[in-house]
Amino acid sequence: MSVFLSPRRILLTGLLLAGWLLTSVPARAAAPDAAQRAAFRQAYAAAQQGGDGWRQLAANLHDYPLYPYLAAAALQHDIQQLDRASVEAYLAQYPDWIPAADLRRAFLRELARRQDWSTFLALYQSGLGDTLACDALQARLAGGGTLEFERDLAALWAKPSLPDACDPVLAAAHTQGLLTEARLWTRIDRAADAGQAGTIASLAGWLAEPGRASALQLALALRDPAAALDAARSWPNQPRQRQAAALALTRQARRDVDAADAAWQQLQSRFGFSEAQRNQILQALALYHATDFDDGALARLIALPAAAQTDGTREWRVRVALAQQDWSAVLAGLDAMPADQRQDSEWQYFRGRALAALGRDDEARRLFEAQADKPTFFGFLSADRLDRPYAICPLTLADDPQREQALLANPGLLRAFELYAVDLPKFARREWARALQDADPDTQRVAADMANRRGWYDRAVFTLSSGDALRLYDLRFPLASQDGLVPQAGQAGIEPAWAYGILRAESAWMSDAQSGADARGLMQLLPATAALVAKRNGLDWGGGDTLYDPATNIALGTRYLAQMAARFNGSPWLASAAYNAGPNKVDQWLATRGMLAPDLFVATIPYRETREYVARVMAFSVIYDWRLSGDTVVPLATRMSPIGQPYAVPTAATARRAVDCPAEAASAAAVAGSVSP
């Protein structure tokens, strides 16, 4: 049986189950109940404090599927006091468990701290990461061993940066004479390409002069390109100095393109740059003048030598032309792209826009028609241009009880579900990945559906990410009413479909998501921002960790969205840009390009992340509107209100667009696996 049902018929394809699924399912223990889960949570909290206090709380949990996680948590807490026997006993009892692997890593790190190298080597296994690999080498050295470059260091040497644990090993390698000048420069060049100034500086000390000074010049070019360019006026015209000057020019172009341009005028005649270096510099200068939309930026891009052209420079040639609304230049820029780049949906749409602006309506219509059957940002924009229904062709997973029963016999998957149920999502994702690592796509889809029914929504979002699975909208765009988004959005005065779109783009429904900037939870709020929003709206605030609670995060996130919308005349698309890049950046862009139509403005946002974010959020908003309403949606053209025009939250009186599945797409959907997204 196919895993899909179309909206109009059940599909029967006679699929064979993957070999790893069991043909007969053994009897399973009863599913854990609420009392067991409550007891586990209490015992786990005690285990995280160390000692044996958790054991009494877990007296009735010996048959609970997560029982081994308790002992591991206590051992992890007490890691500095543990002896080898305690760790080996756990590893022997639960050799294939994820907590056992974590305990081994933690104890190895502790043994390295203690410099108990003999015990370290007894417990070490390869493949545990660079830090422990270097600790293992240090253990061998402590035992009187020596290093061989190809055997011990070659793989590490190929990496642009290494952890501090590798420093003693590299020092020993240098003492042994293994770090030759050629090897040092190979790694320095690799680090320069990766922007790792610290690695270069640390290696420079092992070079003799003048190589040491040359390496430090490269590090300076990365750390402070302006200072490097100032110093370069007195550097000799030697290969390494040319390399450092070229690197400084390209780095400075990103920070201050005018200053980089001025330095280029001074240095281009001083240094005999290679053709590749000159092209790299010219490319960077042209690109960053373009992202600043400077006068002459378009001419610079057009004048770049063919060897200096990249997908990025060709793309920005079109974006600058769009900002100028020079439609002939738009077409010329698109024609200059290689065929595969031209076929991107964004460029097909803007070719249509250019043709329409030039009065070539029939050609434009054909391009819009080709895009309008896609449920994407540019597909919806194209449908608006043609005033036709949006094309959304949903599929539904067919019942597959045999496959589901086999999955329920997979202990790792059951542990994943249970870990999610007791609020340990990081462990849950790891158990999920291990349990399904060899599963075929149909089995993964059934597992994602099972997770979705348990309220674990992000599994479907991440699993159903290609091919026909993209049409499983009910799984990929869940409506988690228990989290209160619809009423919270209503109280905040914003449209629920837009709030859902933001949430889906921000976290993909991972309630414990945390960014590198410390944005947290479903709607990715910074704790400081959340605190201000709570104070402004009279909401309770219990600190940053409360942002991992979906209800709290959504209550604050919808208010912050409303705050962003109010700053931009209610506009959801501008507020989305502000949510991603910050409102001050959006104000800067509006000051120079605020006269553009919304689709052109989005195309000229300098940050790729923000451009794609706005497109994604607005497309998701359409899909969520359809999920909430069932048959019609507010057109994207309505949501993308002109800059400066007030936007009102849609009401029952707002004109809506029909949603349909074109006949040809519906026909294609009848063959499982043949439907493109």
Q: What 8-state DSSP symbol labels residue 399?
A: P
pLDDT for 654: 95
Domains of the chain: 481-669 (1.10.530.10)
Q: Which tens digits make up the pLDDT trace of 84-93? A: 999 999 999 9
Task: Answer for the pair 584, 564: CB distance below 8 angstroms, yes or no.
Answer: no
pLDDT of residue 483: 83
Residue 658, beta-bridge partner list? 632
Query: From the CB of residue 86, how many other CB atoms can be counted at a distance below 10 Å?
Result: 15
pTM, entire model? 0.91
Contact in structure between 492 and 558 (CB atoms under 8 Å): yes
Q: Specify burial of residue 590 (Cβ count, 10 A radius: 0-12, 13-18, 19+).
A: middle
Give residue-wise pLDDT tens across range 383-414: 999 999 999 999 999 999 999 999 999 999 99
pLDDT tens per residue across span 20-57: 333 333 345 578 999 999 999 999 999 999 999 999 99
- Looking at residue 224, its pLDDT comes to 98
Write down the pLDDT at residue 183: 97
Under-50 pLDDT residues of the chain: 1-27, 664-666, 668-677
Dihedral sign of CA atoms 608, 609, 614, 620 in order? positive
Q: Please report the pLDDT score of residue 389 as a whole number.
A: 96
Give the integer Cα–Cα distance in Å for 140 and 146.
Answer: 7
Residue owning tokens 């490097």: 228
pLDDT digits over 91-120, tens only? 999 999 999 999 999 999 999 999 999 999
